[in-house]
Amino acid sequence: MDYEFAGLPLHVLLVHAVIVLVPLLALLLVVIAAWPAARRVMWLPALIGAAVLLPLGLVTIEAGKWLEDRVPKTPLIEAHTDIGEDIVPWLIGLLVLAAVIAAWAVVELLARRRAGDDEPARPGKGIRIAVGTVLTLAAVGVAVGSSWTVVLIGEAGSRAVWEGSYSDVPLED
């Protein structure tokens, strides 16, 4: 497959989406794990976002491998590509967590519908607190891990592109 778009390597374009969407989705998962009112509204967009982000990340990695074969081998490029796939388990973690949060949101929704009134009739308070705490802790862990991994990969990639290729002072024409 040719990983180019309008003459540019597709990896260069896709990587920006991954860099923005991973921490954004991670933050959304923390919010909906900790805040039941937000969970009732945002569980489906979070689940869809996680389901789209995983293949987007995988395509970005494949486009990066394609690009790697077309640039000179340097230690900085190798460092970037060595850690590039470290995001995959975190993308899977984001998807699994989004699915678990969605399942809990559906359980709460069905319980509320069975009650038949406006006040949410959910599982017992102890269960709600326990599940909410576990989901929030898991979301914070996945958010920190996935965001930090994106930072490390992005930092290695930016070093590979920019280190030694620009001047600290403006160049004269």
Q: What is the secondary structure of 39-86 as a DSSP string? A: HHHHHHHHHHHHHHHHHHHHHHHHHHHHHHTTS---HHHHHHHHHHTT
Tell me whether residue 54 is in a domain: yes
Q: Which residues contact 23 (CB under 8 A, 6 or more apart)?
A: 143, 146, 147, 150
E strand or H helix that includes residue 87: helix 87-115
Tell me whether residue 173 is in a domain: no
pLDDT in tens, 71-130: 999 999 999 999 999 999 999 999 999 999 999 999 998 888 877 655 555 578 889 899
pLDDT in tens, 17-66: 999 999 999 999 999 999 999 999 999 999 999 999 999 999 999 999 99
Q: Tell whether pTM > 0.85.
A: yes
Tell me whether residue 58 is in a domain: yes
Domain that holds residue 91: 4-162
Q: Which of the two residues, 2 and 24, has the higher pLDDT score?
A: 24
Q: How many domains does the chain have?
A: 1
Tell me whether residue 170 is in a domain: no
Tell me whether residue 167 is in a domain: no
Tell me whether residue 171 is in a domain: no
Tell me whether residue 16 is in a domain: yes
Tell me whether residue 157 is in a domain: yes
